[in-house]
């Protein structure tokens, strides 16, 4: 179908690759590309230094709105808005300017191009901005807003909860990327009947890497180097393992504010070159790492500020390659992981249990092969982009029918 004949969907997000081979998460772009056969998809995202005002990526049009001089467009990307505000409180000065520019940019698209639906990723600020923009543009276009985790777990207090409920009531559907996040939204007063389970997906390689083709000593981690990812726990656990297994190695892919601190921790543990920090890498490099590793580990924790995982896409990325995974027993993964069947699970912040799980998978290659195969099969069935796009298209149709 020619793109001009397809109904237009406006997608509003603050997380998107800024250029080719960017290290920013690409799950919103991947979803949009999976939907492009059904809709003409227009993505609206913040501008930043080095990014083009407009892009067109595999059937998806991207526009980036400006909200300051280029040198000052630093609120989004590289970890997200909320973590940046916590690390650099002066950035709050940009928030009202950013929000106003976002509202105006959305309203402009609503007036001029009249999309049939708006899909906002994150309740705040994107969902809130769409609600304001509909009033500014005098358009009643249906709205789906997907909560990803940080916009719920990372925002505490009565005002934040009231704002979340206010936005949710103005959505035709509220998407939650996991069952745990859906239950948290209900606890915060969002009507359960308004919430749909709308997880993000992952790219699934055509064939898994067999256990015999993997580096039998390599443990892999990928993620943002922040407290909730549990990297300090992982380094301590690997330090114990390394003392008894002289061949075991750990590879950590990702950047973030904790990078230098974790490097110092690794040095203090005497890990030397056995703990390698790759820094930020493109998504394809992460997939290659998981295709090579004997074990992938996701030792996430609930952060001191209450922030927690919404789903854990990195876990799914690893499982898609056939890599066996070790994960923390957190609510976000319980709808996906079956302990001992498709993953090994350990209690939150239990470093000794994490060490034992890693030791077990490195030694028992039959178990690793079984977990890897079952994990991949579940991802193929439930989290490949074809399945995820179909569930989103159904939610879009429902939202448009009930608006």
Per-residue b or e along 271-302, where b marks 16 or more CB atoms closer than 10 Å to that residue's CB: beebbebbebbbbeebbebbbbbbbbbbbbbb
Task: List C-alpha distances in Å: 298 to 35, 245, 352.
Answer: 29, 21, 15
Which of 255, 258, 312 is closest to 278 using CA atoms?
255
Any domain includes 7: yes
Question: Is 160 inside any structural domain?
Answer: yes
Q: Please tell me the pTM assigned to this model.
A: 0.91
Whether residues 176 and 251 fall in one domain: no
Strand 344-346 versus strand 325-328 pairing type: parallel
Q: Are residues 361 and 314 in the same domain?
A: yes
Question: Do 388 and 329 share a domain, yes or no?
Answer: no
Supply 303's token pair: 């952060």
Question: Is the four-CA dihedral 358, 360, 364, 366 of positive or negative sign?
Answer: negative
Model confidence pLDDT, tens digit, residues 130-183: 999 999 999 999 999 999 988 888 888 899 999 999 999 999 999 999 998 999
Same domain, 46 and 158: yes
C-alpha 327 chain-centroid distance: 16
The pLDDT of residue 336 is: 87
Number of domains the chain contains = 2
231 and 189 inside one domain: no
Quote the tokens at residue 23: 């290290």
Looking at the structure, tell me whether residues 244 and 372 fall in a common domain: yes
Based on the fold, state whether residues 334 and 392 are members of the same structural domain.
Answer: no
Instruction: Kindly calculate the radius of gyration of the chain based on its CA atoms and give it in whole angstroms.
Output: 21
186 and 320 share one domain: no
pLDDT value for 3: 60
State whether 178 and 304 are in the same domain: no
Q: Determine contact, residues 187/153, Cβ cutoff 8 Å.
A: no
Assess whether 187 and 311 both reside in one domain: no
- Which domain range does residue 60 map to? 3-201+384-402
Give me the pLDDT at residue 79, please. Answer: 85
Residue 393 confidence (pLDDT): 96
* Residue 389 sits in the same domain as residue 372: no
**Secondary element (H or E) of residue 144:** strand 143-147
Residues of the chain with pLDDT under 70: 1-4, 303, 305-310
Note whether residue 50 is domain-resident.
yes
Q: Which two tokens stand for residue 30?
A: 């991947």
Tokens of 235: 């380094």
Length of the chain: 403
Rounded to whole angstroms, the Cα distance separating 281 from 207 reads 23
Whole-number pLDDT of residue 86: 86
Domain CATH code at residue 336: 3.40.50.2000
- In a domain, residue 124? The reply is yes
pLDDT of residue 267: 96
Q: Is residue 319 situated within a structural domain?
A: yes
**Residue 206 belongs to some domain of the structure:** no
Q: What is the pLDDT of residues 2-50, one digit of tens each?
A: 566 899 999 999 999 999 889 999 999 999 999 999 999 999 999 999 9
Q: Is residue 69 part of a domain?
A: yes
- Select from 118, 177, 115 the least CA-distant residue to 146: 177
Residue 148 and residue 188 in one domain: yes
Look at residue 118 and tell me if it is in a domain.
yes
89's CB contacts (< 8 A; 6+ apart) are none
């Amino acid at each position: 179908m020619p793109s001009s004949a397809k109904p237009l969907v406006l997608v509003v997000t603050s997380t998107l690759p800024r250029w080719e081979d960017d290290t920013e998460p690409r799950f919103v772009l991947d979803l949009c590309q999976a939907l492009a056969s059904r809709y003409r998809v227009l993505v609206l995202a913040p501008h930043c230094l080095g990014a083009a005002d407009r892009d067109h990526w595999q059937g998806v049009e991207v526009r980036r709105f400006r909200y300051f001089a280029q040198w000052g467009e630093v609120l989004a990307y590289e970890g997200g808005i909320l973590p940046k505000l916590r690390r650099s409180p002066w950035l709050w000065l940009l928030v009202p300017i950013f929000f106003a520019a976002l509202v105006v940019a959305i309203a402009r698209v609503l007036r001029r191009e009249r999309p049939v639906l708006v899909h906002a990723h994150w309740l705040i600020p994107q969902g809130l901005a769409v609600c304001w923009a509909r009033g500014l543009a005098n358009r009643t276009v249906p709205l789906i807003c997907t909560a990803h985790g940080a916009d719920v777990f990372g925002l505490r207090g009565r005002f934040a909860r009231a704002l979340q409920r206010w936005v949710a009531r103005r959505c035709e559907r509220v998407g939650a990327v996991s069952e745990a996040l859906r239950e948290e939204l209900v606890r915060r007063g969002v009507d359960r009947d308004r919430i749909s389970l709308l997880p993000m997906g992952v790219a699934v390689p055509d064939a898994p890497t067999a256990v015999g083709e993997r580096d039998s000593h390599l443990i892999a981690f990928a993620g943002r180097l922040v407290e909730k990812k549990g990297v300090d726990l992982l380094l301590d656990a690997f330090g114990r393992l390394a003392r008894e297994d002289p061949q075991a190695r750990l590879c950590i892919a990702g950047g973030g504010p904790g990078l230098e601190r974790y490097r110092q921790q690794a040095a203090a543990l005497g890990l030397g070159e056995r703990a390698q920090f790759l820094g930020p890498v493109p998504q394809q490099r992460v997939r290659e790492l998981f295709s090579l590793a004997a074990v992938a580990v996701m030792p996430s924790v609930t952060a001191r500020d209450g922030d927690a995982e919404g789903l854990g896409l990195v876990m799914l990325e690893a499982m898609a390659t056939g890599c066996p995974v070790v994960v923390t027993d957190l609510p976000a993964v319980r709808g996906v992981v079956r302990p001992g069947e498709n993953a090994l699970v350990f209690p939150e912040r239990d470093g000794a249990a994490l060490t034992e799980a890693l030791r077990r998978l490195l030694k028992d290659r039959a178990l690793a092969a079984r977990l890897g195969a079952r994990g991949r099969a579940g991802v193929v069935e439930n989290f490949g982009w074809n399945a995820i796009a179909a569930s989103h298209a159904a939610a879009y149709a429902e939202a448009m029918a009930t608006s």
